[in-house]
Amino acid sequence: MSLLNIIVEGDPRLRQKAHRIRTVDDSIRRLAADMHDTMLDAPGIGLAAPQVGMLLRLIVVHLPAGYEKPEDPQHTYTLVNPEVVKSQGRVLGYEGCLSIPGWTGEVPRSRRVTVKAVGLDNRPLRIKAEGWLARALQHEIDHLDGVLFIDRVEDKSTIQPIPEDEEIEGPVEAAALAEG
Ligand code: ZN
């Protein structure tokens, strides 16, 4: 297991457009595995390659079972070249970001999305998501275009430091304060 350094806001690499991955090879698989370890260690529920300084269109997402509702299954994804191909509805929710540690803000997102991507086996994937999975996917895909959640906050007064006494396991990528 190898932990990667997560870069934070102010680093210009977070503001660049990441490159498409032509073929998934062992170096991409290794990077994805290290990103997964780094995300779990942080702890976070998602991580995009630019956050570890790699300008590649690669994201990992991990929502533990029961994340939103007790019956929710665990979701773990590694997505290469992910893109939102369909979106529906609109919903507000608080997000955080491992690259903006200690801060949260209320972000409007599509309620439901369909994401097209390629898996680590080079096969095409299609994911229909709603709720926190949909939010996490939109947050991570934004990173690939140099967009941070604070850019999407409409009511800037909702951007606030996460209180020290909140029962939060560190800064949680794309997670709600209410989930604390
Ligand atoms: Zn983020």
**CATH code for the domain in which residue 70 is found:** 3.90.45.10
Say how many Å lie between the CA of residue 139 and the centre of ligand 1: 6
**Side chain identity at 171, as an amino acid letter?**
P
pLDDT in tens, 74-97: 999 999 999 999 999 999 999 999
Q: How far apart are the first and last CA of the chain?
A: 27
Banded model confidence at residue 162, pLDDT cuts 50, 70, 90: confident
Residue numbers of the domain that contains 85: 12-161
Q: Which of 68, 140, 154, 164 is catalytic?
A: 140
Residue 127 located in a structural domain: yes
Contact 175, 43 (CB under 8 A): no
Q: pLDDT per residue over 4-41, tens digit each?
A: 999 999 999 999 999 999 999 999 999 999 999 999 99
Centroid of ligand 1 to alpha carbon of 47 (angstroms) = 7
Q: What is the pLDDT of residues 21-31, one digit of tens each?
A: 999 999 999 99
Question: Is 174 part of any domain?
Answer: no
- Count of the separate structural domains present in the chain: 1
Does any domain span residue 49? Answer: yes
Instruction: Identify any residues that bridge with 129 across adjacent strands, giving them in sequence order.
Output: 113
Q: How far is the CA of 43 from the centre of ligand 1 (A)?
A: 12
The verdict on residue 61 lying in a domain is yes
Q: Does 130 participate in catalysis according to the annotation? A: no
Distance of CA 105 to the CA centre of its chain: 15
Q: How far is the CA of 140 from the centre of ligand 1 (A)?
A: 6
What are 107-147's pLDDT values in tens digits? 999 999 999 999 999 999 999 999 999 999 999 999 999 99
pTM score of the predicted model: 0.92
* Beta bridge partner(s), residue 75: 63
- In a domain? residue 168: no
